[in-house]
Amino acid sequence: MVQEVGTDQPKKLFLSNDVNAFVNYNSPFWSMFFPVRKNLTIGMGLINTTTVSELKAILAHEFGHFSQKSMKVGSYVNQANKMIYDMLYNNKGFADSMESFASTHAIIALFTRLAAWIIEGIQWVLTKFYDFLYLKHMSLSRQMEFNADAIATYVVGADVKTSALLRLDLSESALSNAMNFYLDKNVKADTKNIYQNQTTLLHYFAQENNHEIKNDLPYININEIERYNKSKLQIEDQWASHPTIKQRIEAIKKLNIPSENVDNRISKNILKHFDKYAEKFTNKLFEYNMLTHTEEFLSEEEFREQYKSIVNEKSFHKIFNSYYDFKNPIFENIENETSTVDDVIAQDFFSDEKVSLVFEKNALENDAKVLEMIQNGTYKLKTFDYDGAKFTKSQTPKVLKILKQREEQVDQKIKENDDAILKYLLHKASLEQKEKFSELANRFTQTDKDFDEYYNAFQEFVPYINFMSQRLDFETIMRNRNIMVSKEKIFKKKVTELLSSAFAMYMEEEDQEVLREYVDADFIYFENNKYNDSEIQILDKALGKYQETMSKFYFKLKKELLELMVEILE
């Protein structure tokens, strides 16, 4: 690949555990002045889930960066921005000296204030320059990615390059989910080779998402990734270091270079001692995540079945086709439903078309929020694209009007479908099922309202603890601490309510103890000019348990209602 791309050999080659490949300097500082060779890192998770030709594509992309002299620019920009940042934000000692100097005399204080005003002006200029420099660097970085993609495409062709790109997220998801399986406190199992688990989950995900299998690997096309991306708003992210996958693939396809002499062997087959490395990395990952080997090793079939069982517990029935993944089954006024048999029409309530409406509604809501931010100046943009057309900031109200009209249409279609689902369920259900369905539906509707109330209390309180993660003077900390403690009394009432509500039904005793300890405590968090770490840890743990309790009960009740609906529908 070095010879084919026409670049230098890497100074060092590293293996990493993840699904990634990248180049870097040993010393970014010295690279600014000397022609320092770059290092190459290749991830085991990448080697495990690519063909040889796809790995060539990824290496050609990285070697494309080797040949880019503009990589040095990153070193210059990083050093310049670090200097500006230090001048702007890491200057507490200077600020303290100025304050101390000003307190000696009124005339000195006057000149100090004048100097401070001038310094603030300089800092304003530096802030603008910092943003300008960083934005230009990010623009260059995105262009470097396009150029490196072009080099890789000339080496392996467009089809191979795009197939490698499109599988990356699935490969990463398979590896991270394999690791999370062993991190689950309810799982008592072990593995010698996490990458075998990655392969197992890669095939499981492919089956679940109907991805075609080619050469023993999932083949994913761009339409499958974009399936439920219904946003029509396109904004160029000036702060992004990489273009989007869609932008990269569009650029690759424009090159129109065919893939020839493709090697479809799995890449791990050309790496000597892959399994030995895999076991070493598995041990390192277990050690890093503070897991100990239990010697209770699972076969890949056992691993797949156990993983599938956990997923089934945490997901909804396939019959719904993701209709309720981002939407709730809210059926209000069930007792007033008076449809007759003639009104009931059996239809595909959960077709791709109906599910698409739910995703479109979410996209419309998100797009509306961004457009409102553009309109009020929070999001500083001059132009944006919506539904293939370009608009200026002044035209935002016009686009919002179009969006709101479409949102009303989508809402109406979803409501019509929900009404039809309710009629059909009540028509199909036995008397016993109707009673149970009515009770569960009403309970969930009330829980949905209660959840919002508990969640809002959490959202209102959390901003008051943000000061703890900032560098502040003692007076400011004490002032923020006092405000937080007063607001905490209101929040603690909500925690007490939660402990005696239906939400506590699925809480373990030790979790209840965490919340009770927090409610009963009279913490002050900061005294003698330092934070009380043990009190902050209890607060942090309590906030986590509060969220977990809400989510767990909400999900369990929603799943119970949906399971009953499955029983009636089937």
Residue with tokens 């209101």: 490
**How many whole angstroms separate alpha carbon 405 and alpha carbon 447?**
30
Q: Which of 130, 118, 138, 135 is nearest to 86 (CA)?
A: 130
**How many whole angstroms separate alpha carbon 521 and alpha carbon 492?**
10
pLDDT at 529: 87
Q: Which of 512, 464, 516 is nearest to 488 (CA)?
A: 464
Q: Which regions in the chain score pLDDT beneath 50?
A: 30
pLDDT at 470: 87
**How many whole angstroms separate alpha carbon 145 and alpha carbon 191?**
37
Distances (CA, A) of 147 to 4, 48, 55, 65, 385: 16, 26, 18, 8, 25
pLDDT at 473: 86
**How many whole angstroms separate alpha carbon 552 and alpha carbon 547?**
9
Sheet containing 233-234: order of strands: 233-234, 383-386, 389-392
pLDDT at 9: 86
| The residue type at 86 | D
pLDDT at 6: 79
pLDDT at 365: 94
What are the structure tokens assigned to 41, written together?
Answer: 């890192």
Give the side-chain half-sphere CA count within 13 A for 352: 4
Q: How far is CA 115 from the centre of its chain?
A: 45
Specify burial of residue 519 (Cβ count, 10 A radius: 0-12, 13-18, 19+).
middle
Buried b (16+ CB within 10 A) or exposed e, 205-224: bbeeeebeeeeebbebeeee
Distances (CA, A) of 161 to 61, 66, 246, 249, 252: 9, 18, 13, 9, 8
Q: Which of 139, 332, 156 is nearest to 237 (CA)?
A: 139
> Cα(first)–Cα(last) distance of the chain, in Å?
57
**How many whole angstroms separate alpha carbon 101 and alpha carbon 455?**
48
Helix (H) or strand (E) holding 392: strand 389-392
| The residue type at 424 | Y
Q: Which of 204, 196, 185, 438 is nearest to 305 (CA)?
A: 204
Q: Give the pLDDT confidence of 324-360 residue by residue, as tens digits.
A: 998 999 887 777 766 665 566 667 899 989 999 999 9
**How many whole angstroms separate alpha carbon 76 and alpha carbon 140?**
13
Signed CA dihedral, 524, 526, 529, 531: sign only: positive
For the chain, the domains span 2-160, 317-428, 451-558
Q: Which of 10, 15, 42 is nearest to 26 (CA)?
A: 10
Contact criterion met (CB below 8 Å) for 404 and 412: no
